[in-house]
Structure 1
């Protein structure tokens, strides 16, 4: 019970002293800058450089995955050959 009361007290104090003033300040800044709610919800467009970097990263990952797949298939084939040798 004491812990719950302490938690509620800390929560309310944080909310009143920090969070609400912070939100009010942000709202004031947005109002001064003419920022609308719809502006805040818009996704930022990536630049061409960002898109190129992302494509390069995807290509690298794809190559690595293909290499890993080939290695795994090769391991399976080698394991099968070894099993056949020991069975005969």
Structure 2
């Protein structure tokens, strides 16, 4: 896990918080584009539980089932929108 500092901005009137790093990094639910691609590929071969097991066994990376589902749903919606 890599930890980096990120700056967030909000107007003096409150409201929505803006984080330039998240906006320009093209993250999907905190997943990089490459990791989102990896999750989508693995998910297309099985289910969320098998993806979580594979990532834990082969990459020593614990990922919640909901994260797999959220990221792959988002990637799927992007793919459908581009068709």
Q: Which has the higher contact order (CA 8 A, sep 6+)?
A: 2
TM-score range, shorter chain: under 0.3
Instruction: Name the structure with the higher helix share.
Output: 1
The structure with more radius of gyration: 1
Taking structure 2 as the reference length, what is the TM-score of the superposition? 0.28
